[in-house]
Amino acid sequence: MEEASNNLRNPHPKEKANFLSAATFFYTVPTFIHGHRNEFDESDLYETLTEYKSNILGDKLEGLWDKEVVKAHQRKGCLL
């Protein structure tokens, strides 16, 4: 259900922002102007940035956790 509503969202403005715009957060100005003129509603939400999607972060966390487990088993006196 949420996946279907995600497809209708606008792309995140940071994805197309150039270096200077991203460094100064200038890409947020249209959002602030819209918020000043109108109230926000659900249709104003942007698509999640690719690097912040849960499947990518979950895989990264799982890999790091597996490395920690291996390091814990290699230590002397491990309780695991």
For the entire predicted model, the pTM comes to 0.52
Predicted pLDDT at 79: 57
pLDDT digits (tens, 9 = 90+) for 6-19: 467 888 888 888 88
Q: Bridge partners of 46? A: 10
Phi, psi of 10 (to 5 degrees): -70, 150
**DSSP per residue, 12-24:** PGGGG--HHHHHH
SS3 30: helix
State in Å, rounded, how far the first CA of the chain is from the last one. 40
What pLDDT sits at residue 14? 87
| Tens-digit pLDDT profile for residues 18-73 | 888 888 888 889 889 988 899 988 888 888 888 888 888 899 999 999 999 888 88
What pLDDT is stored for residue 61 in this prediction? 94
